[in-house]
Amino acid sequence: MNLTLYRKYRPQTFKDLVGQDHIKITLENQIKTNQINHAYLFSGPRGTGKTTCARLLAKAINCKNRNKKDAEPCNKCTFCNEISEGKSLDIMEIDAASQTGVDNVRENIIENSRFIPHNLNYKIFIIDEAHMLSLSAFNALLKILEEPPAHIIFILATTEIHKIPETIISRCQQFNFKKINFLEITKKLEKICDLEKIKVDPQIIKNIAHQSQGYLRNAESLLGQILVLGEKEINLEQAELILPHSNFNLILELLEHLFENNKKATLILINKLVEQGIDLKYFINDCIEIMRKILLIKIDLNLNNFSQEMDKEIEKKILKLTEKINIKKLSKAIEILIKTQKELGETDIIQLPLEIAILEIIENDEIIEQENNKTMEQKNNFVRAYPCVRPENNEAKSEKRKAKNNETENLKSETLNKESKIKLEEIKEKWGKILEKIKKHNHSIFTFLRTTELLSFKENILQIGFEHKFYQERINDRKNKEIIENILEDILKQKVILKTEILPIKNGFLEENQDKFLNNILNVFDGKIVE
């Protein structure tokens, strides 16, 4: 039976271990100086070398022919061969995911630790997925970690360090394995291709390295699928039969439409993604990753962070796109897409949360632009309408009149609020119940309504506000509106007519800016408003 690539080319020396130099240096020094710890905790993402490193450590400290000035195992002696082949009686690898109970720990670890090694210097327990052990199993393990026999070494490996009890962590020397960078994965894959004597298009190697997301084992598995084609030379067209297309071009196409505020083209592309069977969750994740990198480029204008992952054509597109994008809008778009990731799968229409998110990003930008234009127009009107004059003696009188007018307006506002407060408050109290019933009836309507603002309730008319025109249009649809009004009547026990409106971005935004602008003019020219 042929071995998979990640097993066939598993590193047999520390020199071959990819991307974990900070760990290699420390372990090599410990081996050279014979200062081995009794317990190690290797944590980090899957496929980054935790189990491999544990086996290398086991080989190095038990190798018969190892040069005392070197940390590398010889890989020729009986002990090294037995460990490499998984035949050594003194190296026990335990899968904690399938042996979680305290009885397994007692039987496999505590009982076995009482006996001296069969033929090695140390008896080593490698506990993979250690976070899966039960609390009672950890407590049983803790006892032997506190008072370990001299001939025993424990190596715990985990992808979820936060699930390991602090009492265990404090008794181990901890090493954090990191994701492997794009360039190192690419070099490793190229080396495997050379050893397999198969020529693979460099762009395929880049695509695999990108899709592996920093996990070398994933990259080797993907390459293995390509090499199964059995060809001596593999091109992009052949690779696409097995590997999914690189999402770079689709992501850039989506971002171009998005930041040009092209709703139609963006929605068409989203439906195209669904038709092609692309997983939207991973696609959104890739979008966020690219947008984050564009954000970094906008800040320091440097493509070095990820230029290795792209061909020159895509690099040009990204630079061109970067020039068009506003940092504020980019940040807001990332924020909305992160929220959308969590909402995927909550509706029967797979693409609906992404469609809503895209429209929210575009409409948010349009509203901001409209408000900015209105603000500038209002400022210009103020400058034309209120000429600045020298201060007169009746300035105090004018200020009193303004204060009195403001007080009158405030009293009017308070009176209006009191008239509608009682019934509106009752609706607000029951709004959660109303939304819950709407969600059971129609999840799409619930999605549109949950961000709405209840404005007023007078003469059986419930006035609600939306930040986005798209949401308002969907709710104003005759069928949707009828569903909402029926549910409102059912819960509130009275006929309710629903009215909608678009909210400004921020209440008082224009007035606040107008006042500031006007005050600045008055201060500069030492003037006042003439009534």
- Whichever domain contains 399, its CATH number is 3.30.300.180
Q: What's the rounded mean pLDDT across residues 327-345? A: 84
Q: Is the pLDDT of residue 511 over 80?
A: no
- How far apart (Å, rounded) are the C-alpha atoms in residues 6 and 341? 31
Flag whether 505 is in a domain. yes
- Are 50 and 151 part of one and the same domain? yes
- Are 170 and 186 part of one and the same domain? no
φ and ψ at 100, to 5 degrees? -85, -20
Predicted pLDDT of residue 459: 82
How far, in Å, are 25, 204, 515, 525 from residue 530 at the CA level? 78, 74, 16, 14
Flag whether 523 is in a domain. no
Among 64, 75, 59, residue whose Cα is nearest residue 27 = 59
Predicted pLDDT of residue 500: 92
- The helix or strand, by DSSP H or E, that contains position 496, with its residue range, turns out to be none
Least confident of 70-79, 253-262, 410-419, 512-521: 410-419
CB 211 within 8 A of CB 77: no
Predicted pLDDT of residue 247: 65
In which band, very low, low, confident or very high, does the pLDDT at 309 lie, cut at 50, 70 and 90? low
Flag whether 187 is in a domain. yes
- Are 24 and 82 part of one and the same domain? yes
Among 341, 295, 313, residue whose Cα is nearest residue 305 = 295
Q: What is the 3-state secondary structure (H, E, C) of 165-223?
A: CHHHHCCCEEEECCCCCHHHHHHHHHHHHHHHCCEECHHHHHHHHHHHCCCHHHHHHHH
Least confident of 25-34, 206-215, 367-376, 506-515: 506-515
Residue finishing a domain among 362, 379, 406? 362
In sign, the C-alpha dihedral spanning 392, 398, 399, 402 is: negative
CA 39 to the chain's CA centroid? 33
177-181, 376-380, 404-408, 502-506: range with highest mean pLDDT: 177-181
Q: Is the pLDDT of residue 206 over 80?
A: yes
Flag whether 229 is in a domain. yes
CB 465 within 8 A of CB 452: yes
The per-residue pLDDT for range 182-200, each reduced to its tens digit, is: 888 999 999 999 988 889 8
φ and ψ at 124, to 5 degrees? -120, 130
Q: What is the CATH number of the domain that holds 344?
A: 1.20.272.10
In which band, very low, low, confident or very high, does the pLDDT at 286 lie, cut at 50, 70 and 90? confident
In which band, very low, low, confident or very high, does the pLDDT at 517 lie, cut at 50, 70 and 90? very low
Flag whether 515 is in a domain. no
Average pLDDT, the chain: 80
Among 217, 212, 58, 48, residue whose Cα is nearest residue 126 = 58
- Are 333 and 443 part of one and the same domain? no
Predicted pLDDT of residue 420: 41
Least confident of 244-253, 301-310, 463-472: 301-310
Q: What's the rounded mean pLDDT across residues 281-309? A: 74
Count of domains observed in the chain: 4
Q: What's the rounded mean pLDDT across residues 451-466? A: 87
Flag whether 525 is in a domain. no
Least confident of 136-145, 341-350, 381-390, 498-507: 381-390
- Are 222 and 294 part of one and the same domain? no
More confident residue, 473 or 245: 473
More confident residue, 286 or 301: 286
Least confident of 345-359, 383-397, 475-489: 383-397
Q: Is the pLDDT of residue 121 over 50?
A: yes
- Are 28 and 162 part of one and the same domain? yes
In which band, very low, low, confident or very high, does the pLDDT at 513 lie, cut at 50, 70 and 90? very low
Predicted pLDDT of residue 417: 45
- Are 267 and 193 part of one and the same domain? no
Residue numbers of the domain that contains 267: 248-362
In which band, very low, low, confident or very high, does the pLDDT at 295 lie, cut at 50, 70 and 90? confident
- Are 228 and 163 part of one and the same domain? no
- Are 162 and 215 part of one and the same domain? no
- Are 270 and 139 part of one and the same domain? no
- How far apart (Å, rounded) are the C-alpha atoms in residues 388 and 521? 8
In which band, very low, low, confident or very high, does the pLDDT at 407 lie, cut at 50, 70 and 90? low
Flag whether 453 is in a domain. yes
Residue finishing a domain among 213, 239, 265? 239
In which band, very low, low, confident or very high, does the pLDDT at 506 lie, cut at 50, 70 and 90? low
CA 231 to the chain's CA centroid? 38
Flag whether 426 is in a domain. yes
Q: Is the pLDDT of residue 508 over 50?
A: no
- Are 215 and 260 part of one and the same domain? no
- Are 193 and 149 part of one and the same domain? no
Q: What is the CATH number of the domain that holds 164?
A: 3.40.50.300
Residue finishing a domain among 362, 381, 410? 362
Share of the chain above pLDDT 70, in %: 80
Q: Is the pLDDT of residue 371 over 70?
A: no
Q: What's the rounded mean pLDDT across residues 28-46? A: 91
